[in-house]
Each structure stands twice: as C-alpha cells, then as structure tokens.
Amino acid sequence: MKKIVVLDDDNDIRTVLRMTLEKAGYEVEDFHDGDALISFLQNQPAVILMTDIFMPGKDGIEVIIECRKQFKDLKIIAMTGGGDIVPGDLLTPAKFLGADFTIEKPLEYEDVVNAVKSLIGE
C-alpha cells in the first residue's frame, strides 16, 4: 500500500484528508509539526507529502526545502488557504522550491485524490 503523509496544523483538515485518502486505498500518517514529520520520514518512506504552507514552527516552505534535500523521490503537494496573503502568491514559491502540485483551500477532496493518483501514476 502506498503511504502518504499529511502535514497541517488544522486537526479537522488532517482528519478529513486521512479519511478521504484511506477510503481511496492509501495508507496515511498525519502530523501537525514539521519537525516530527521530517523525523518520521527519516525512518519510514512515503510516496507523497501533502503540506500546508502556513503553520506555527516549521512552515510548509521550510518543510518543502528540507524534503527536497533529504528525500529526492518524495512527491510534494503544497496547499494553503492563504491567510492574509493571496494564495497564488504562496503556492508559486512552493512550486518553485520543489512542490510537484499545488492546491488552494478550501479543498475539494475529489481533486485531492485525483492529484495523488496523478503523481503516483495511477
């Protein structure tokens, strides 16, 4: 089973993403903290990371940069609601720094599953 890791500081989003992706047949681990996620990936491989951009502590941009250095084969989906900044202004740098796919919140969960399938090659 293909493993997906989800990083978001919003518990509700993590829960819904986990349920949606598990229903689609994927194994999912979720994290609210970038450092915990990186530690996990050093011991457990995953095929896709879905990360929020705005988070306390290590934000999604920092996580993308670190994952690109350490986990070259990991596919990355960046997602954001934008906060006070226009979402496109955050997703463009995320893409430039290594995200393979970007999604604006609020999420359409069918689009999330389709993005995952596309990146995995299903």
Identify the three-state secondary structure at position 86.
coil
Q: What's the pLDDT tens digit per position in 52-77?
A: 998 888 999 999 999 999 999 999 99
**Is the residue at 63 inside a domain?**
yes
| Structural domain contains residue 121 | no
Share of the chain above pLDDT 70, in %: 94
pLDDT digits (tens, 9 = 90+) for 75-111: 999 998 865 555 557 788 899 999 999 998 889 989 9
84 touches 113 (CB < 8 A): no
Within the chain, where are the H helices? 11-23, 34-43, 60-70, 87-96, 109-120
Query: For the chain, how many structural domains are there in total?
Result: 1
Q: Which domain holds residue 47?
A: 3-116
Decide if 122 is inside a domain: no
Per the domain annotation, does 83 fall within a domain? yes
Q: What is the pTM (predicted TM-score) of this model?
A: 0.93
CATH number for the domain that contains residue 83? 3.40.50.2300
